[in-house]
Amino acid sequence: MDKNCDVSIYNLNGGIILNKEVKTGSVEFDLQNVATGAYLVVFKNENGIRSKKIIID
């Protein structure tokens, strides 16, 4: 059975920047057109939710 994970990137105002569903392995986001600053990456699957802060400069 494949485990699905929703990966979302939010700005610090809560606006969603990007979203992808990942079945296995890794995922890449093209962030070249995203403004510099701090963002929150949120991983959601059947086991729960995890988040990680990233800085784009």
Q: What is the pLDDT of residue 2?
A: 55
Question: Is residue 44 within 8 Å of 10, Cβ to Cβ?
Answer: no
Question: Is residue 53 within 8 Å of 14, Cβ to Cβ?
Answer: no
The DSSP symbol for 57 reads -
- Domain locations along the chain: 5-56
Rounded Cα distance between 22 and 7, Å, is: 7
Which of 52, 17, 51 lies closest to 34, judged by CA?
17
Over the chain (57 residues), the average pLDDT of each successive run of 10 is: 82 94 82 94 94 95
pTM of the model: 0.83
Angstrom distances, CA of residue 24 to CA of 2, 3, 35: 7, 7, 28
Q: What is the pLDDT of residue 52?
A: 96
